[in-house]
Amino acid sequence: MGGTQILLKVMKKLLLALAGVAMMSGSAMAQDYEKNIYGVRAGLNVANISVDGYSPNSKVGFHVSGVYQRLLTSSMPFYLETGLSFSQKGCKVGSEVGDIKVNSMYLQIPVMVNYKFNIKDVVTLYPSVGFYYGMGLGGKIKGEGYKVDTFGKEGALKRSDFGMRISGTVEWKKFSFGLGYEFGFINVGNNVNLGDVDFDDEDMGFDGEDYGIATPKVKTGNFFISIGYNF
């Protein structure tokens, strides 16, 4: 069973669990839940890119986000969660011709749902699950003696990315701490013109005899940690 299928099953079970909590809470007295929540988030990315099943080394980056949460029903703390995020991703590849660094900056829009569990008067825990769309804004692929664009007509990656996002967040008063993982569903690999660069690396699957055009299956992944503040 592939990783995507496993995570989809996790998503399904989580949604069923949230639905069960909602049903049990349906007969409870309605509370005055906050209808609109605005916040900011910033933190650390540990990103990677799988290439035809091969996983290079992870690359550390950052993200900065604006977050909006909208209450979906007045009888329970069930929220739609979205926003806008600038996220730095990529990977590091070791090869016989030297290390290669893939740097990429994305503008991302998540669409998720969450359910808030009040632990104490000032502490709230909530899981979030949903999807994201990412648009590649720019970046460079750097190696020994060369540098090319990450995106664009001659770039290694397509600009559009779409995938699933799962996270857990703890809120204390107006402050928050969260962690999660996001993984791409679609192949973002572009036709790569390797030119005269000889990637004679068995791990990457490149053969020195047929270098020139490579069409790998490329998918993104990213583990993230965030701190934030709600207004």
Q: What b-and-e string marks burial along 73-84, b requiring 16 or more CB atoms within 10 Å of the CB?
A: eeebbbbebbbe
Q: Are strands 192-193 and 213-214 parallel, antiparallel or unpaired?
A: antiparallel
Which of these, 179, 181, 82, lies nearest to 133 by C-alpha position? 82
Can you give the pLDDT at residue 207?
45
| Amino acid at the residue 130 | G
Q: Please give the average per-residue pLDDT across 23-28, as a whole number.
A: 46
Cβ-based neighbours of 21, under 8 Å, separated by 6 or more:
76, 115
What is the model's pLDDT at position 121?
80
Asked whether the whole model's pTM tops 0.85, one would answer: no
- Condensed to tens digits (0 to 9), the pLDDT of residues 100-133 reads 899 999 999 999 999 999 987 889 999 999 999 9
**Quick one: CA torsion of 19, 13, 110, 30, rounded to 10 degrees?**
20
Nearest to 161 by CA among 85, 212, 98: 85
Residue 63 CA: distances (Å) to CA of 104, 105, 170, 230: 12, 9, 18, 17
Per-residue confidence band for 153, with pLDDT thresholds at 50, 70 and 90:
confident
Cβ proximity of 61 and 47 under 8 Å: yes
The token pair that represents 80 in the structure block: 């739609």
Shortest CA distance to 75 belongs to which of 130, 35, 37, 120? 35
Return d(Cα 79, Cα 77) in angstroms, integer: 6
Quick check: 228 and 174 in contact, CB under 8 A?
no
Q: Tell me how far apart the alpha carbons of residues 106 and 120 are, in angstroms, rounded to a whole number.
A: 36
